[in-house]
Structure 1
Amino acid sequence: MNEMTKIETTLKDWETDQEVRWCPGCGDYAILKAVQRTLPQLGCDPSNTVFISGIGCSSRFPYYMETYGFHTIHGRAPAVATGVKLANPDLDIWLVTGDGDGLSIGGNHMMHVLRRNVNMQIMLFNNEIYGLTKGQASPTSREGTKSPSTPLGSYDHPARPCAFALGAGARFVARGFDVSKNLPDVLKAAHAHQGAAFIEIFQNCIVYNKDVFDDFAAPKGAGDRQLWLEQGQPMLFGDPKTGLDKGIALDTEALALKVVDVVDGDWQSAGVLVHDVTNRAVAHMLVEMPFGPFPMALGVLYDDPRPTFEEGVIEERGRSVAGKDVNLARLLAKGQTWTVEASEGHPVD
């Protein structure tokens, strides 16, 4: 596979002539702009980029990107994306899905693209509801969610997308939210990763699940409930006005994480952990932290590359044809074959 040739583009080069049609106020608008602004910064080439989606509100994404794209069927975008990558490994693949599309009918396909480690960026928009089909509870809906399918409140325990991804063997797992100024940095880290890069993006559904993430994602006043992770930096959070006066430490007796106070910036004495993106055990604990007692862990939680699926397939293809005649016409002419010659009165059709 070749290194990506970087070119200069602007946001306009990634916008189509299609009218962007989501509900006014939908978080998908902010995600779309974040992606369109990030791709020029990465030096990406629209003619070498493919956006592939399934079914749902998020899956309209390919219509609004001036690239190649597929709007596929419910839950099967990972399978189509895998086929595209194997057919042309040099393409830059972005897979767009939702919590319903990617974790219900598409859960098994999502699992396999992650465990195989196919080199692509996977953006899972999580609004904790089925938006396109009018507000039914989804696999990530919280317990007690009232919807047309759960009028008395959902009694299902919700799936955690990042925990699912780690359990499926993903080598890159990250979180962001639609209106965050840090979302482009998360997208850049995912693009730099060689392999399946899974990004959960919390997205506000303005109609059916309005402001469900405001407890940590509100435009103002929620900074002390966000833990933005950065490689090699202490896990600190707090009120932006008063400083980062809290941190995440390891309770060695319970083998669990805990919140500690940080006095005068002395995070070392408080035992605050330094983020190591290759530590899979801590990544599992971060995605399982209950919000409320803990902040919401955001940014790159885990990043530990290994060889990609398509690299293995290409190597296997090379071994399978080594020393063999790969000319199809000659292969067909070998063995028990004969040529029918025309004779007088009996032409060959």
Structure 2
Amino acid sequence: MNEMTTTTAKDWASDQEVRWCPGCGDYAVLKAVQRTMPDLGVAREKTVFISGIGCSSRFPYYMASYGFHTIHGRAPAIATGVKLANPELDVWIITGDGDALSIGGNHTMHVLRRNLDCQILLFNNEIYGLTKGQYSPTSRLGTRSPSTPFGSIDRPITPCMFALGSGARFIARGIDVHKNLPDVLKAAHAHRGASFIEIYQNCIVYNDEVFSSFTEKQNAAHMQLWLQPGEKMRFDAGTKGLALDSEALALKVVAGDDPSVIVHNPKNRGIAAMLIEMRQDEGFPVALGVIYEDPRPTFESAVVEQNAKAAEGKTPDLQALVSKGQTWQVEKEPHKL
């Protein structure tokens, strides 16, 4: 492990002017990350933020660390190369619902199944903001946009379910402006392996208040379930809870003092799937915090171990390597007039 380093939030802010639309939720996420980094005790020179293309992907410019603003959907591929080249680096992937789940869907899937040690922050605003408001893979049925003027007929992706299906070992959710977001980031960083965090992020221009049913002050207390390992799944000021309907093998809402209220066990993959897919229109809250965590060995550690075994008892010899197998030499013919 790297030694703890003392920094402040200001140390993590670059000298670049932050340029997003006024009121964009990206500002809040940026501040949350900058406030969180000192608490992690990591060094700026050993930290890398890697992004693809989209509004969120301007993020590396605003962090006073190393960073790459790469190409559309390919941030996981670049991040994999960075981590394999230097496993000691602390790698963060910044992406959006379009960048990660459309053109970059296969790259996101592979970085999760491989379990590269990194933090993946997926900003989900359910719209393509940078390219002026077209519908995205997470846009809801009926979403009207320049590319779906009569309403979207695509069934949207559920990012956390995509991550679970791809073999992710850490899945969490947060909200751009919520005070609990830094805690979610800390939990993701403490996990060894690919940590997938979906962040509900408001696009004030093209999809304003799309999450208001559970983020607005008057709705938050009733419709947000912040999960804590080892604690009962209660919400709505503790007056309601979640229990398992054994006959239907599904979750159900019960009174908060009901003895059947479930205790959150992040290793329970089946319950995690149920929590991810809860629907507000069926009377359920939105599951937030760490939904699933069950660590396993990381991809880069396996690669390092494999390379070390392959190199045992061998002396590096580049000339021998390039000369191995079938070789021939082209003799220069005499110059002919």
Give me the TM-score of the superposition, normalised by structure 1.
Answer: 0.91
1:273 aligns to 2:262 (yes or no): yes
Alignment of 1:133-282 (within 5 A): 133-238=131-236, 243-262=237-256, 266-268=257-259, 271-282=260-271
Does structure 2 retain, via aligned residues, the 8 Å contact 1:177–1:201? yes
Q: From the superposition, tell whether residues 206 and 335 of structure 1 become closer, same or farther in structure 2 (CA, over 3 Å).
A: closer
1:126 aligns to 2:115 (yes or no): no
Q: In the TM superposition, what whole-angstrom CA distance separates every residue of 1:37-58 from its partner, at most 9, and x where no partner exists?
A: 0000111111100000000000
Q: How far off is 1:4 after superposition?
A: 1.9
Instruction: Name structure 2 gaps, 5 residues minimum.
Output: 329-337
2:103, 2:321 → 1: CA distance? 42
The corresponding residue for 2:333 is: none
Q: In the TM superposition, what whole-angstrom CA distance separates every residue of 1:217-268 from its partner, at most 9, and x where no partner exists?
A: 1245421100000000000001xxxx31000000100000011123xxx342
1:219, 1:92 → 2: CA distance? 35
Q: In the TM superposition, what whole-angstrom CA distance separates every residue of 1:160-199 from its partner, at most 9, and x where no partner exists?
A: 0000000000000000010010000000000000000000
Task: Give 4+ residue runs of structure 1 displaced > 6 Å after superposition.
Answer: 333-338
2:280, 2:203 → 1: CA distance? 20
Does structure 2 retain, via aligned residues, the 8 Å contact 1:127–1:209? yes
1:331, 1:290 → 2: CA distance? 59
Q: From the superposition, tell whether residues 246 and 51 of structure 1 become closer, same or farther in structure 2 (CA, over 3 Å).
A: same
Does structure 2 retain, via aligned residues, the 8 Å contact 1:146–1:154? yes
Task: Give the aligned length.
Answer: 328
Q: From the superposition, tell whether residues 260 and 149 of structure 1 become closer, same or farther in structure 2 (CA, over 3 Å).
A: same
Does structure 2 retain, via aligned residues, the 8 Å contact 1:234–1:267? no
The corresponding residue for 2:68 is: 70
DSSP 3-state at the match of 1:181: coil
DSSP 3-state at the match of 1:52: strand
DSSP 3-state at the match of 2:280: coil
Q: How far off is 1:328 after superposition?
A: 2.5
% identical aligned pairs = 68
Does structure 1 retain, via aligned residues, the 8 Å contact 2:213–2:219? no
Instruction: Name structure 1 gaps, 5 residues minimum.
Output: 339-349
- Tell me how large the CA RMSD over aligned residues is: 1.7
The corresponding residue for 1:341 is: none
| Amino acid paired to 1:209 | N
| Amino acid paired to 2:157 | A
The corresponding residue for 1:114 is: 112
The corresponding residue for 1:92 is: 90
The corresponding residue for 1:301 is: 291
Does structure 2 retain, via aligned residues, the 8 Å contact 1:325–1:331? no
